[in-house]
Chains A and B, each alone.
Chain A
Amino acid sequence: MNNVVAQLQRQFHDYLVSLYQQGFLDNQFSELRKLQDDGTPDFVAEVVSLFFEDCSKLINTMSRSLERPENVDFKQVDSGVHQLKGSSSSVGARRVKNVCISFKECCDVQNREGCIRCLQQVDYEYKMLKTKLQDLFNLEQQILQAGGTIPQVDIN
Chain B
Amino acid sequence: MSLFHVVEFCLKIGQLFWMLCCWLVSWLIDDKSPLPVGSVGDPDKTKMKKNHHHHNKMCFFWNKISTSGFKIPTFSLHPVRFGKNWWKKVVVAWVVLWVLISFWTFCYFSSQAMDKRKETLASMCDERARMLQDQFNVSMNHVQAMSILISTFHHAKFPSAIDQRTFSEYTDRTSFERPLTSGVAYAVRVLHSERKEFERQQGWIIRRMDSFEQKPVHKDEYNIEALEPSPVQKEYAPVIFAQDTVSHVISLDMLSGKEDRENVLRARKSGKGVLTAPFPLIKTNRLGVILTFAVYKRDLPSNATPKERIEATNGYLGGVFDIESLVENLLQQLASKQTILVNVYDTTNHSEPISMYGSDVSADGLEHVSPLNFGDPFRKHEMRCRFKQKPPWPVLTMVTSFCILVIALLIAHIFHATMSRIQRVEEDCHKMKLLKKKAEAADVAKSQFLATVSHEIRTPMNGVLGMLHMLMDTELDVTQQDYVRTAQASGKALVSLINEVLDQAKIESGKLELEEVRFDLRGILDDVLSLFSGKSQEKGLELAVYISDHVPEMLIGDPGRFRQILTNLMGNSIKFTEKGHIFVTVHLVEELLDSSDVETSTSTENTLSGLPVADRQRSWQKFKSFSSSGHRSFALAPSEINLIVSVEDTGVGIPVEAQSRIFTPFMQVGPSISRTHGGTGIGLSISKCLVGLMKGEIGFSSIPKVGSTFTFTAVFANGMHSSERKSELHNNNQPILSEFKGMKAVLVDHKPARGQVSRYHFQRLGIRVEIVSGVEQALRFTTTVNIILIEQEVWSKEADVFIKKLQKDPLVHSPKLFLLANSIDTSISDSLRNIIDPPVLIVKPLRASMLAATLQRGLGIGNSETSQQKGPPALILRNLLLGRKILIVDDNNVNLRVAAGALKKYGADVVCAESGVKAISLLKPPHEFDACFMDIQMPEMDGFEATRRIRDMEEEMNERNKTGESLTVEESNRTRWHLPVLAMTADVIQATHEECLKCGMDGYVSKPFEAEQLYREVSRFFSSPSDTES
A→B interface (CB under 8 Å): 28, 31-32, 34-37, 39-40, 43, 46-47, 50-51, 53-54, 79, 82-83, 85-87, 89-92, 152
- Give 26 A-B contacts (CB < 8 Å), ordered by A residue: A32-B898, A35-B901, A39-B904, A40-B901, A43-B901, A47-B898, A50-B893, A54-B893, A54-B894, A83-B891, A83-B892, A85-B986, A86-B892, A86-B937, A86-B986, A86-B1007, A87-B892, A87-B894, A89-B1007, A89-B1008, A90-B894, A90-B895, A90-B1008, A91-B894, A91-B898, A92-B1008
CA distance A31 to B939 in the complex (A): 27
Q: Which chain B residue shows the least CB distance to A53?
A: B893
Instruction: Contact check, B892 vs A35: say whether CB atoms are below 8 A apart.
Output: no
Distance, CA A43 to CA B898, complexed state (A): 9
Contacts of A50 in B (CB 8 A): 893-894, 897
Residue of B nearest to A52 (CB): B894
What sequence of 0s and 1s flags, for each residue 172-193 of chain B, a beta carbon within 8 Å of any chain A beta carbon? 0000000000000000000000
Please report which residues of chain B, range 858-901, place their CB below 8 angstroms from some CB of chain A when the two chains form the complex.
Answer: 869-870, 891-895, 897-899, 901
* Contact partners of B891 in chain A: CB under 8 A: 83
With A35-B905, A47-B901 as contacts: A90 and B1007 at CB distance below 8 Å: yes
Q: Which residues of A contact B870 (CB under 8 A)?
A: 34
Which residues of the partner chain B approach A39 to less than 8 Å between Cβ atoms?
Answer: 904
B886 CB to closest chain A CB (Å) equals 15
A90 to B902, CA, bound (A): 11
Q: Nearest A residue to B1009 by beta-carbon distance?
A: A31
Residues of A within 8 A of B901 (CB): 32, 35-36, 40, 43, 47
| Bound-complex Cα distance A44 to B499 (A) | 55
Q: How far in angstroms is the closest Cβ of chain A from B893?
A: 5
A91 contacts across to B, CB distance below 8 A: 894, 898
- Please measure, in the bound complex, the distance between the C-alpha atom of A90 and the C-alpha atom of B897, giving whole angstroms: 9
Interchain CB contact under 8 A, B937 and A82: yes
Q: State whether A35 and B898 are in contact (beta carbons under 8 Å apart), knowing that A28-B1008, A87-B893 are contacts in the complex.
A: yes
Using a CB–CB distance below 8 Å, which chain B residues touch chain A?
Answer: 869-870, 891-895, 897-899, 901-902, 904-905, 935, 937, 939, 986, 1007-1010
Residue of B with least CB distance to A43: B901
| Cβ distance B560 to chain A, nearest Cβ, rounded Å | 27
The answer to whether A47 and B894 have CB atoms under 8 Å apart is yes
Tell me the bound Cα distance from A82 to B890 in angstroms. 13
| Most central of A37, A39, A53, A86 by chain B CB within 10 Å | A86
The binding surface of chain A is classed by DSSP as: helix
Cβ of A82: which chain B residues have Cβ within 8 Å of it?
Answer: 937
Closest CB in chain A relative to B712 CB, distance in Å = 40
Bound-state Cα–Cα, A91 to B892, Å: 12
A98 smallest CB distance to B (angstroms) = 14
* Nearest-Cβ distance from residue B365 to partner chain A, whole angstroms: 133
The 10 tightest CB contacts between A and B, nearest first, are: A87-B894, A35-B901, A90-B898, A51-B894, A90-B895, A28-B1008, A86-B892, A47-B897, A50-B893, A90-B1008
Residues of A within 8 A of B986 (CB): 85-86, 89
**Chain B minimum-CB-distance residue to A82:** B937
Residues of chain A contacted by B939 (CB below 8 angstroms): 79
Q: Are A31 and B894 in contact (CB under 8 A)?
A: no
Contact residues in B for A79 (Cβ distance below 8 Å): 939
Query: How far is the CB of B912 from the nearest CB of chain A, in Å?
Result: 12
A139 to chain B, nearest CB (A): 22
Residues of B within 8 A of A53 (CB): 893
Give the distance to chain B from A35, nearest Cβ to Cβ, in Å: 4
A87's partner among B895, B904, B937, B1010 (CB-CB below 8 A) is B895
Given contacts A50-B897, A86-B1007, A90-B894, 7 further A-B contacts (CB under 8 A): A32-B898, A85-B986, A86-B986, A87-B893, A89-B1008, A90-B898, A90-B899
Q: Could you tell me the distance between the alpha carbons of A79 and B912 in the complex, rounded to whole angstroms?
A: 21
Determine if A46 and B892 form an interchain contact, defined as CB atoms under 8 angstroms apart.
no
Please give the distance in Å from B552's CB to the nearest CB on chain A: 29
Beta-carbon nearest neighbor of A84 in chain B: B892
Instruction: Determine the chain A residues whose CB is within 8 A of the CB of B935 once the complex forms.
Output: 86
* Complex Cα–Cα for A25 and B100 (A): 117
What is the bound-complex CA distance between A35 and B939, given in angstroms?
Answer: 28
Expressed in whole angstroms, the minimum distance between the Cβ of A84 and any Cβ of chain B is 9
Given A28-B1008, A86-B1007, decide whether A37 and B892 contact each other with a Cβ distance below 8 A.
no
Q: How far is the CB of B935 from chain A (nearest CB, A)?
A: 8
- Nearest A residue to B893 by beta-carbon distance? A50
Query: Smallest CB-CB separation from B894: which chain A residue?
Result: A87
- Flag if A40 contacts B904 (CB, 8 Å): yes
Chain A residues near B1010: list those with CB within 8 A.
Answer: 31
Give the shortest distance, in Å, between B902 (CB) and chain A (any CB).
Answer: 6
A128 CB to closest chain B CB (Å) equals 18
Q: How far is the CA of A91 from the CA of B893 in the complex (A)?
A: 11
Q: Which residues of A contact B894 (CB under 8 A)?
A: 47, 50-51, 54, 86-87, 90-91
**Closest chain A residue, CB of each to CB of B897:** A47
Tell me the complex Cα distance, A32–B898, Å. Answer: 7
Kindly state the separation between the CA atoms of A118 and B945 in the bound complex, as whole angstroms. 32
Tell me the complex Cα distance, A79–B904, Å: 28
Rounded to whole Å, the gap between the CB of B938 and the closest CB of chain A is 10
Within 8 Å CB of B1009, what residues of A?
A: 31
Chain B nearest CB, measured from A78 CB (Å): 10
List chain B residues, Cβ under 8 A from A28: 1008
Which residues does chain B contribute within 8 Å of A40, judged by CB atoms? 901, 904
- Of the candidates B869, B892, B904, the one whose C-beta lies within 8 Å of that of A90 is B892
Residue from B892, B895, B897, B1008 within 8 A of A31 (CB atoms): B1008
Residues of A within 8 A of B898 (CB): 32, 35, 47, 90-91
Task: Choose among B892, B904, B905, B1007 the residue with the greatest number of A CB atoms under 10 Å from its CB.
Answer: B892
- Which residues does chain B contribute within 8 Å of A87, judged by CB atoms? 892-895
Complex CA–CA separation, A54 to B891 (angstroms): 11
| A91 and B901 alpha carbons, distance in the complex (Å) | 12
Closest B residue to A36 by CB, please name it: B901
With a cutoff of 8 Å between Cβ atoms, the chain B residues found around residue A46 in the complex are 897
What B residues does A89 contact at CB under 8 A?
Answer: 986, 1007-1008
In the assembled complex, the CB of B203 is this many whole angstroms from the nearest CB of chain A, namely: 191
Considering only CB atoms, which chain A residue lies closest to B891 in the complex?
A: A83
Q: Once the chains are docked, how many angstroms separate the CA of A92 from the CA of B1010?
A: 13
Q: How far is the CB of A64 from chain B (nearest CB, A)?
A: 17
In this complex, which of B869, B897, B935 has the most chain A Cβ atoms within 10 angstroms of its Cβ? Answer: B897
**Bound state CA distance, A40 and B901, in angstroms?**
9
A31 to B1006, CA, bound (A): 14
**Which of A43, A53, A87, A90 is the most central at the interface, judged by chain B CB atoms within 10 Å of its CB?**
A90
Q: Could you say which of B869, B895, B904, B905 contacts A86, with CB atoms under 8 Å apart?
A: B895
Provide the bound-state CA to CA distance between A152 and B868, in Å.
Answer: 13
Which residues of chain A have C-beta atoms less than 8 A from B1008's C-beta?
A: 28, 31, 89-90, 92
**A155 CB → nearest B CB, Å:** 13
CB-nearest residue of chain B to A46 = B897
Bound: A82/B1007 CA distance, A? 13
Which residues of the partner chain B approach A54 to less than 8 Å between Cβ atoms?
892-894
The CA of A97 and the CA of B891, in the complex, are separated in Å by 18
Residues of B with C-beta under 8 A to A34: 870
B890 — nearest CB in chain A belongs to which residue? A86
- How far apart sit A40 and B891, CA to CA, in the bound complex (Å)? 22
Which of chain A's residues has its CB closest to B899's CB? A90
Minimum Cβ distance to chain B for residue A146 (Å): 24
**A42 CA to B892 CA in the complex, in Å?**
19
Bound-state CA distance A79–B935 (Å) is: 14
**Bound CA span A108–B905, Å:** 37
In the docked arrangement, what's the CA distance between A73 and B1007, Å? 27
A84 CA / B889 CA spacing, docked (Å) = 17
How many whole Å from B904's CB to the nearest CB in chain A? 7
Q: Which residues of B have CB within 8 Å of A47?
A: 894, 897-898, 901
CB distance from B1005 to the nearest CB of A (A): 13
> B905 contacts which chain A residues (CB < 8 A)?
35, 37
Query: In whole angstroms, how far apart are the Cα atoms of A6 and B892 in the complex?
Result: 38
- Cα–Cα distance between A32 and B902 once the two chains are bound (Å): 8
Residues of A within 8 A of B892 (CB): 54, 83, 86-87, 90
Closest B residue to A93 using CB positions: B894
Which B residues are in CB contact (< 8 Å) with A92?
A: 1008
